[in-house]
Amino acid sequence: MQKKYDYLIVGSGLFGAVFAHEAKLRGKTSLVIDKRTHLGGNVYCKEVEGIQVHQYGAHIFHTNDESIWQYVNRFVPFNHYINSPVALAKGKLYNLPFNMNTFYQLWGTKTPAEAQAKLAEQIAQYGVAEPKNLEEQALSLVGKDIYETLIKEYTEKQWGKKATELPSFIIKRLPVRLRFDNNYFNDRFQGIPVGGYNKLVDGLLDGIDTQTGVDYFADRAHFDGLADKVVYTGKIDEFFGYELGQLAYRSLRFETEVLGTDNYQGCAVVNYNDGDVPFTRIIEHKHFEFGTQPKTVITREYPQNWDLQKEAYYPINDDHNQGLYKQYRVLAAAQENVIFGGRLAEYRYYDMHQIIASALKAVKVAFAEA
C-alpha cells in the first residue's frame, strides 16, 4: 500500500530539519513531528522584548568546515559574534579560555615566556604522567592555581560529582593559549544567525509538512503508518522502551528574567565559577546580536540531576553508559527502516556543526551516494 510520506521524522532539531531538507531536494516527502509546541529542538529561540532568547541554553555556531559554514549561511546570514566569556571567581573577573590575559590576571605574568615558566612550574609540581580523572587531567594541563580558581568548583557543580570521580575527557577540549586571545573557540568560522536560529530551522523546513505538540510514542502505530521510513532523533533507549535500562544524562534548569537596564553584564556569557553560587553562568542574550534594545533579557543556568520528567542535555559518557549505548546500537542496527541520529539518538554531546555533518552523512547513506 502506498504510504503518504517517504519519511516520518521524529524531532525537528537540526538533525531532523537537515535530513528533511536534503530528502526534499532529492524528491522525497517528509512529515516532521515534534512533541514540543515549536520547531527547532534545542536551538529554538523565543523573541522577548525584541531579543532572541536561546530557550534551551546558549548556542554559538562554530566550525572549521567551510562547506558546513556555507551550508548554514544559505538559509540565514550569520553575524561576526565571537564568543569571549568571562569568569567570575572569588570576587575577580578572568578572561577565558585560559590565555595570556588570564595568566596576567592570575599571576601578573606579562610575556609568554613568563607565563610558560609559571605554567611549567605548576605542572611540574602538581601534574601526573597518566591522568586518571578530571582533577589529575586539569592539574597536568594547567596546574593548581587555575584548577582551584576556575575549574574545580565550576566542574563539580556542573556535573554534580567530585572532580576525582569525573572522566578526564570533559576538559580535554579547554584550550590553553600563550597569546592575548579571548576567542573561546579555535574554529575558522563562528557567528550567530541574524534574527535568531528559528530562521535557520524555518529555512531548512520550508515546504515540508510539520506537526508540533504531538508525541510519537502516544500513537506510534499511527505515525509509523504514515511513512515508509522513520528518522528518529529522540532518546535511543526510549525508542526501545528502555528494555536494556536507562541511559543517564545531566540536566539544566533555566531561569529567565527581563531587566529594565539596557546592558546588565557587558557580554553574552559570564561564568560563575564558585561552588557556593548555585548557577554556572548568566547569559545576556542581546549581546549575541549586538542588540541596542532598551531592556535586556538574562538567563541563569542551573545544573540539575536528570530524571525522565526533565530535559536530557548532557549525555554521561562514562564506561557504564557507553556500554549500554553500544547495546542499544545493536538493536538499532536491526531496525531496517529506521535511521537514528542527533544528540539523543547517538548519545553524544554534539555541537551544532557536528549534528549537521552527521545528518548530511546519514543522507548520503540513505540515498546511497558516494
Binding region for ligand UDP (CB under 6 A): 87, 96, 150-151, 154-155, 158, 170-171, 174, 271, 273
Distance CA 364, CA 370 (A): 7
Closest CB to ligand UDP among residues 243, 255? 255
Q: Min. distance of Cβ 81 from ligand UDP in angstroms?
A: 15
Q: Is 36 a catalytic residue?
A: no
Q: Min. distance of Cβ 101 from ligand UDP in angstroms?
A: 14
Closest CB to ligand UDP among residues 240, 254? 254
Residue type, 358: S
SS (HEC) of 112-179: HHHHHHHHHHHHHHHCCCCCCCHHHHHHHHHCHHHHHHHHHHHHHHHHCCCHHHCCHHHHCCCCECCC
Catalytic residue among 34, 135, 156, 301: 301
Q: Min. distance of Cβ 74 from ligand UDP in angstroms?
A: 26
Closest CB to ligand UDP among residues 23, 166? 166
Q: Is 349 a catalytic residue?
A: yes
Q: Is 65 a catalytic residue?
A: no
Coil/strand/helix, residue 227: strand
Q: Any long-range contacts for 135-138 (C-beta under 8 Å, 24+ apart)?
A: 135/162, 135/163, 135/164, 135/166, 136/164, 136/168, 137/168, 137/171, 137/172, 138/163, 138/171
Q: Min. distance of Cβ 245 from ligand UDP in angstroms?
A: 25
Q: Is 348 a catalytic residue?
A: no
Catalytic residue among 250, 289, 313, 346: 250
Q: Is 173 a catalytic residue?
A: yes
Q: Min. distance of Cβ 139 from ligand UDP in angstroms?
A: 13
Catalytic residue among 114, 209, 228, 351: 351
Residue 194 has phi, psi (to 5 degrees) of -65, 120
All 3 cell numbers of residue 360?
Answer: 548530511
The answer, yes or no, to whether the previous bond of 97 is cis (omega within 30 of 0) is yes
Closest CB to ligand UDP among residues 239, 313? 313
Q: Min. distance of Cβ 103 from ligand UDP in angstroms?
A: 15
Q: Min. distance of Cβ 54 from ligand UDP in angstroms?
A: 12
Closest CB to ligand UDP among residues 30, 101? 101
Coil/strand/helix, residue 41: helix
Q: Is 300 a catalytic residue?
A: no
Distance CA 196, CA 70 (A): 17
Closest CB to ligand UDP among residues 150, 247? 150
Bridge-based pairing state of the strands 30-34 and 5-10: parallel
Residue type, 317: N
Distance CA 115, CA 193 (A): 37
Catalytic residue among 44, 272, 281, 284: 281
The distance from CA 4 to its chain's CA centroid, rounded to whole angstroms, is 34
Q: Is 281 a catalytic residue?
A: yes
Catalytic residue among 177, 184, 346, 350: 177
All 3 cell numbers of residue 173?
Answer: 577540549
Closest CB to ligand UDP among residues 18, 141? 141
DSSP class per residue in 68-83: HHHHHHTTS-B-----
Count of CB atoms situated within 10 Å of the CB of 131:
16
Write out the catalytic residue numbers. Answer: 173, 177, 250, 281, 301, 349, 351
